[in-house]
Amino acid sequence: MSGATAGSSGATIIRSWHGSSLTGQRRWALWGSYAALAVFVAMFLTPPFYMVMTSLKTSAEISAERGNPWLAHHPTLQNFSELIANSNFQHFFLNSVIVTICVVVISMAISIFAAFSLARIGFLGSQFLATGVFLTYNLRGVPLLLGHTKIESTIPWDRSR
């Protein structure tokens, strides 16, 4: 009896010392995960929400300095109708679609052959090369951003209007 009593009281002491059961820890981990997910959802959905709200405003409402900038007080689809009716936009949109399709097809064709050869053929430096290809692919937007900021800094913006 003393062994069973000591064993059960030892388990009770250990359980109370750790704070809570495993299911309680999982519950806290789940709540923490949901809280982190909510923060990331808010961060990633804020810019598209603001973009949609701005697109539903009139030009006068966009340039007005009063009111809530996050909500369209008088929503309108006038901006979309003007944009679709503009022949320049149709031309630019078709150009963007063609360039996007070509870039995706060419990139996928080259990437598939490169990935197959790097995965199947083991040679000295193949891991280093694969890491270089991966980093180059993921960091390709940085030079575009730097070039864009250089071009933008040379344009004299008239912000007084």
DSSP codes, 86-155: -HHHHHHHHHHHHHHHHHHHHHHHHHHHHHHHHHH---TTHHHHHHHHHHHHHTTHHHHHHHHHHHHHHS
* Distance between CA atoms of residues 52 and 73, nearest Å: 13
For residues 77 and 85, give the distance between their C-alpha atoms in angstroms, rounded to a whole number. Answer: 12
Tell me the average pLDDT across 90-112: 91
Task: For residue 12, tell me if it sits in a domain.
Answer: no
- State which of 66, 81, 96 marks the end of a domain: 81
Residue 70 or residue 140, greater confidence: 70
Structurally, the chain folds into a number of domains equal to: 2
Assess whether 63 and 134 both reside in one domain: no
Domain span at residue 27 reads 21-81
Q: Does the pLDDT value for residue 33 go beyond 80?
A: yes
Together in a domain, 25 and 74: yes
Do 156 and 93 reside in the same domain of the chain? yes
- pLDDT of 68 over the 80 cut: yes
**Do 129 and 95 reside in the same domain of the chain?**
yes
Quote the pLDDT of residue 117. Answer: 77
Q: Could you tell me if 92 and 159 lie in one domain? A: yes
CA distance 52 to 70: 10
Q: How much is the pLDDT for 105?
A: 93
Same domain (yes/no): 102, 70: no
Banded pLDDT at 17 (limits 50, 70, 90)? very low
Query: 46, 63, 81 — which closes off a domain?
Result: 81
Is residue 76 located within the same domain as residue 134?
no
| Residue where a domain stops, chosen among 81, 99, 116 | 81
**36 and 73 part of one domain:** yes
Q: Which residue has the higher pLDDT, 79 or 150?
A: 79
pLDDT for residue 46? 94
- Predicted confidence at residue 127, as pLDDT, reads 79
Q: 43-52, 87-96, 145-154: which has the minimum mean pLDDT? A: 145-154
